[in-house]
């Protein structure tokens, strides 16, 4: 689980590997090949064996794509990775393009030539993504052609790591809060109501939730790579590499679930002939749609039926999240004290900061994994939104600057994700003012009450308005869903400028993480997780309102808060939060840490 600081790729990867891929393309009669970041599980998190984009280009970000044409190539990343891509990728070989503005379709449309054949692997693209590629290629007079095996895998060959085989074990009901049979019956009923006979579940997180199982095939997220068929009557078939099955698993799955090998899946799709089968066109590969249609099943395109039930945590999961955050809060408080005292003296480098925080979390005795690689960004490294310290890039802390630490943990009872920005030594007035603007947005989103039906898109402006008023903004989403001992990024809800039609519902856990980044200077982000509360009456009001309960418990750096910029309501909100941190986490920590926390969480 230990975080490492090495680099698994170099910019030479492109020069070394692109010719191999192009040779395999030529052998298949292809003029181009599309390399998405996503793997056959359409997952953000990849095992090394499936990180094709990294092998082809050197780029290790969590989202992106590349197109290799026979005479040129491009890599596509979003704004978060604009700096990183230039550091990791040979830009003589790969033109850097924006993943969102135009993206791969626009490139195919302008760069493919009439009569060309562009290959794609149907297991690596959702039908929705594929439609856009096909339409763009057609405008250029080029054709897209499915290729199995794809030329990249052919070129990778023996050098490719093996598929992971981490053990899959039960996730006990004391943490899950609802047994799998009840979940399957509930989701099965929703299938029946939609007129579907079954659903094909291809997202590993969905299988993990539905069967109350956890695995370890992917770093930082206890996902069991697997697929499943759920029938409307609640019975199911789970497809899993037998090497991953732990002894307790078959009994845990119970009578309603048959455990089968991954190889049995194509045959099982054939059993669905004549049935109406729900598949999610946003998260399942095009390959599944084609296979089902060939098998004679009637495909119903609809959202993964487990996504919304999984996002709405039950009472046991919410209570687990509270406990996880108290435990994590104690580790954070110990860490923040170390930063404010020892580290401000010795000015260690970022890797030491990461190791120290991991050590405090490890010492809780409950840490299963980090929930993602810790981002510790000192000074200008803090301005790189998706920075990860490496031996090459690491900086020492600097007095008079900021340290941004975005980190999280996986515990059996919950997943955490928290960002604190702290001053090392004396911060500048500009740093303090901009921190306070970010904080005001964060507070507005934390205290908002809202009626049922409100989406995260509608609330996003609350976190940005104070920055906007000063001509500032940040170029990432404001909040993402978080799983329960599952992925730290989870849909379908989101708090973002982008439209999202999913209303926030009780039990959903979302992050609240506005920021500000001064390129070459410093970065600020303040992130708490918060859970959507049940609609409740408000004294003197007429309509019940939902709201947020903040889960994350760690003090905000008082040295960075300009109290004169706060309204009375904001001032009181910070004091109340700090009082809660002290009351909840204070009893968990040693006397000297507690003494520090008392000062750190004193009223402003």
Residues 278-307 binding a copy of itself (CB under 8 A) are none
Q: Which is nearer to a copy of itself, 321 or 384 (CB)?
A: 384
Q: Which is nearer to a copy of itself, 157 or 499 (CB)?
A: 499
194 touches a copy of itself by CB under 8 A: no
Nearer to a copy of itself, 172 or 541 (CB): 541
Tokens of 539: 């004294």
Residue with smaller CB distance to a copy of itself, 181 or 472? 472
CB 481 within 8 A of CB 508: yes
Smallest gap from Cβ 345 to a copy of itself, in A, equals 33
**The pair of three-digit structure tokens given for residue 547, joined into one six-digit string:** 């709201």
Residue 214 is encoded by which pair of tokens?
Answer: 């956890």
Cα–Cα dist 393/390, whole Å: 5
Q: CA 322, 326, 329 angle in degrees (round to 5)?
A: 130
Query: Which string of x and - marks every residue 493-512 that binds a copy of itself (by CB under 8 A)?
Result: ----x-x-x-----------
Write down the least CB distance from residue 470 to a copy of itself, Å. Answer: 5
Strand, helix or coil for residue 232: coil
Q: Does the CA dihedral 530-534-539-540 come out positive or negative?
A: positive
Instruction: Return the residue of 141, 567, 602, 603 that touches a copy of itself, per CB under 8 A.
Output: 567
Count the residues of the shown chain that bind a copy of itself, applying the rule CB under 8 A.
36
Query: Is 603 a residue that touches a copy of itself (CB under 8 A)?
Result: no
Residue 264 or 461 with smaller CB distance to a copy of itself: 461
**CB 542 → a copy of itself: shortest distance, Å?**
6
- b/e map 48-64, b = 16+ CB within 10 Å: ebbbbbbbbbbbbbebb
Q: Report, in Å, the least distance between residue 460 CB and a copy of itself.
A: 6
Q: 433-472: which residues touch a copy of itself (CB under 8 A)?
A: 444, 447-451, 453-454, 457-462, 465, 468-472
> Residues with Cβ < 8 Å from 515, sequence gap 6 or more?
385, 419, 438, 474, 476, 523, 524, 525, 526
Residue number with CB closer to a copy of itself (29 or 541) = 541
- How far is 242 from 165, CA to CA, in rounded Å? 9
Residue nearer to a copy of itself on the CB measure, 6 or 542: 542
> Environment class of residue 297 by beta-carbon count within 10 Å: exposed (0-12), middle (13-18) or buried (19+)?
buried
Q: Of the two residues 298 and 497, which places its CB atom closer to a copy of itself in the complex?
A: 497
Residue 28 phi/psi, 5° resolution? -95, 5
Could you tell me where the beta strands, DSSP code E, fall in 207-341? Answer: 213-214, 227-231, 236-239, 257-260, 276-279, 298-301
Helices (H) and strands (E) in the chain, counts: 20, 27
Q: CB of 568: closest distance to a copy of itself in angstroms?
A: 8
Q: Which of 408, 345, 416, 348 is nearest to 378 (CA)?
A: 348
| CB-based contact 103:75 (threshold 8 Å) | no
Q: Could you tell me the smallest distance in angstroms from the CB atom of residue 289 to a copy of itself?
A: 23
Q: Judged by CB, which is closer to a copy of itself: 368, or 505?
A: 505
Q: Which of 98, 342, 473, 598 binds a copy of itself (CB under 8 A)?
A: 473
In angstroms, what is the minimal distance from the CB of 340 to a copy of itself?
29
Q: Mask: binding to a copy of itself, 523-562, rule CB under 8 A, as x and -?
A: --------------xxxxxxxxx-----------------
CB 533 within 8 A of CB 548: yes
Nearer to a copy of itself, 467 or 589 (CB): 467
- Residues of span 116-145 touching a copy of itself by CB under 8 A: none
Give the residues lining the site for a copy of itself (CB under 8 A): 444, 447-451, 453-454, 457-462, 465, 468-473, 497, 499, 501, 537-545, 567-569
């Amino acid at each position: 689980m230990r975080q490492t600081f090495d680099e698994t790729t170099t910019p030479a990867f492109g020069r070394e590997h692109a010719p191999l891929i192009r040779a395999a393309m030529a052998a298949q009669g292809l003029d181009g090949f599309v390399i998405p970041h996503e793997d056959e599980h359409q997952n953000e998190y990849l095992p090394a064996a499936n990180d094709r984009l990294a092998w082809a280009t050197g780029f290790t970000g969590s989202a992106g794509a590349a197109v290799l044409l026979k005479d040129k190539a491009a890599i596509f990343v979003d704004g978060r990775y604009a700096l990183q891509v230039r550091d990791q990728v040979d830009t003589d070989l790969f033109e850097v393009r924006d993943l969102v503005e135009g993206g791969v379709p626009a490139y195919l449309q302008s760069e493919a030539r009439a009569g060309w054949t562009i290959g794609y692997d149907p297991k690596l693209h959702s039908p929705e993504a594929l439609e856009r590629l096909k339409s763009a290629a057609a405008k250029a007079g080029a054709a897209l052609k499915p290729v199995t095996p794809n030329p990249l895998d052919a070129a990778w060959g023996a050098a490719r790591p093996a598929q992971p085989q981490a053990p899959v074990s039960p996730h006990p009901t004391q943490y899950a809060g609802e047994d799998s049979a009840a979940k399957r019956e509930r989701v099965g009923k929703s299938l029946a109501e939609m007129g579907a006979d079954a659903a094909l579940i291809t997202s590993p997180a969905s299988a993990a939730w539905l069967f109350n199982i956890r695995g370890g095939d992917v770093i930082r997220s206890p996902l069991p790579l697997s697929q499943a068929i759920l029938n409307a009557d609640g019975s199911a078939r789970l497809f899993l590499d037998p090497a991953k099955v732990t002894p307790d698993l078959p009994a845990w799955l119970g009578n309603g679930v048959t455990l089968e090998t991954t190889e049995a899946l194509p045959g099982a799709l054939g059993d669905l002939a004549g049935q109406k089968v729900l598949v999610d066109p946003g998260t399942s590969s095009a390959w599944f749609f084609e296979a089902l249609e060939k098998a004679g099943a009637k495909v119903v395109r609809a959202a993964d039926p487990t996504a919304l039930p999984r996002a709405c945590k039950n009472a046991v999961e919410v209570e687990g999240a509270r406990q996880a955050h108290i435990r994590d809060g104690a580790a954070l408080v110990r860490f923040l004290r170390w930063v404010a005292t020892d580290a401000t003296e010795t000015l260690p480098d970022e890797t030491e900061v990461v190791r120290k925080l991991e050590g405090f979390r490890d010492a809780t005795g409950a840490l299963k994994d980090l929930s993602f690689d810790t981002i510790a960004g000192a000074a200008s490294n803090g301005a790189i939104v998706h920075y990860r310290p490496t031996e090459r890039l690491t900086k020492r802390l600097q007095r008079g600057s900021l340290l941004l630490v975005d980190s999280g943990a996986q515990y059996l009872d919950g997943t955490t994700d928290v960002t604190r920005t702290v001053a090392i030594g004396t911060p500048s007035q500009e740093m303090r003012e901009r921190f306070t603007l970010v904080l005001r947005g964060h507070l507005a989103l934390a205290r908002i009450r809202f009626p049922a039906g409100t989406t995260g898109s509608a609330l996003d402006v609350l976190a940005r308005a104070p920055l906007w008023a000063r001509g500032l903004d940040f170029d990432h989403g404001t909040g993402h869903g978080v799983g329960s001992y599952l992925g730290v990024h989870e849909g379908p809800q989101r708090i973002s400028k982008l439209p999202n039609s999913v209303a926030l519902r009780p039990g959903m856990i979302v992050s609240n993480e506005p920021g500000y980044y001064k390129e070459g200077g410093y970065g600020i982000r303040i992130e708490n997780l918060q859970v959507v509360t049940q609609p409740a009456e408000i004294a003197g009001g007429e309509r019940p309102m939902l709201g947020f309960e903040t889960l994350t418990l760690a003090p905000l750096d008082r040295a960075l808060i300009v109290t004169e910029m706060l309204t009375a309501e904001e001032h009181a909100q910070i004091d109340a939060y700090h009082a809660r941190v002290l009351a909840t986490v204070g009893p968990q920590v040693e006397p000297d840490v507690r003494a520090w926390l008392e000062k750190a969480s004193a009223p402003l």
